[in-house]
A and B are shown apart, each in its own frame.
Chain A
Amino acid sequence: MARDIDTLAEEIQGPSPAAILRRRVFGHYGLLFGATALLVIVALAVLAPLLAGHDPYAQSLVARMKPPFWMEGSDPNHLLGTDHLGRDYLARLLYGARISLAIGLIAALISGLIGTTMGVAAGYFGGRVDLVVTFLVNVRLAMPVVLVALAVVAVLGGSLQVVIVVLGFLLWDRFAVVMRSSTLQVRGLEYVNAAKAIGCSTRRIILSEIMPNILNNLIVVMTLEMAHAILLEAALSFLGLGVQPPTPSWGLMISEGKQMMLFEPWVIAIPGVALFILVLAINLLGDGLRDITAPENRS
Chain B
Amino acid sequence: MSAAGSSPPVLELAGVTKTYRVKQGLFSKPKPLQAVGGVDLRIRKKDVLGLVGESGCGKSTLAKILLGLEAPTSGRVMVDGIEAAGQDRTLLARRIQPIFQDPYSSLNPRKSIEDIIALPLVVHKVGDSAGRAQAVSKMLDLVGLPQRVRRGYPNQLSGGQRQRVAIARALVMKPEIVICDEPTSALDVSVQSQILNLLGDLREELSLTYLFISHNLAVVEHLATRVAVMYLGRIVEEAPAADLFAEPRHPYTKALLASVLTPDPSMSVPDTHLGASYPNPIAPPGGCHFHPRCAAVRDICKTVPPPHVSSAEGHVDCHLYAERTQAA
A residues touching B (Cβ–Cβ < 8 Å)? 2, 5-6, 9-10, 13-17, 20, 189-191, 193-201, 204, 208-209, 212-213
Contacts and interface: CB of A to CB of B under 8 A. Distances in A.
A14 B152 CA distance: 9
Given A6-B194, A190-B100, A197 B146 contact: no
A9 B160 contact: yes
B54 interface: no
Contacts of B111: 208, 212
B138 interface: no
A197 B119 contact: no
Contacts of A209: 108
B106 interface: yes
Top 3 A-B residue pairs of the complex, sorted by shortest distance between their CB atoms: A199-B93, A190-B106, A199-B90
14 contacts: A6-B191, A10-B146, A15-B156, A16-B152, A16-B156, A193-B67, A193-B98, A193-B100, A195-B119, A197-B67, A197-B68, A199-B92, A199-B123, A213-B110
A185 to B, nearest CB: 11
B100 A196 contact: no
Contacts of B193: 2
A20 B152 CA distance: 13
B161 to A, nearest CB: 7
B158 interface: yes
A10 B169 contact: no
B31 interface: no
B147 to A, nearest CB: 11
B73 interface: no
Contact of B98 (A9, A197, A201, A204): A197
B98 A194 contact: yes
B194 A17 contact: no
Given A17-B153, A197-B98, A213 B93 contact: no
Contacts of B173: 198
A209 B149 CA distance: 20
B105 A191 contact: yes
Interface in B98-143: 98, 100-102, 105-111, 119-120, 123-124
Given A9-B158, A16-B156, A196 B190 contact: no
Contacts of A201: 123
B161 A199 contact: no
Nearest to A12: B158
B131 to A, nearest CB: 18
Contact of A197 (B93, B102, B109, B158): B93
B155 A14 contact: yes
A112 B193 CA distance: 48
Interface in B231-256: none
Contacts of B155: 14, 17, 20
B4 interface: no
B108 A199 contact: no
B94 to A, nearest CB: 8
A200 B161 contact: no
Contact of B156 (A13, A193, A194): A13
Contacts of B17: none
A245 B156 CA distance: 57
Nearest to A204: B123
Contacts of B90: 199
Contacts of A193: 64, 67, 69, 98, 100, 106
Contacts of A5: 190
A213 B108 contact: yes
Contact of A199 (B124, B152, B153, B190): B124
Nearest to B119: A198
B171 to A, nearest CB: 12
Interface in B249-305: none
Contact of A198 (B100, B101, B102, B123): B123
Contact of A191 (B93, B97, B106): B106
Contacts of B153: 16-17
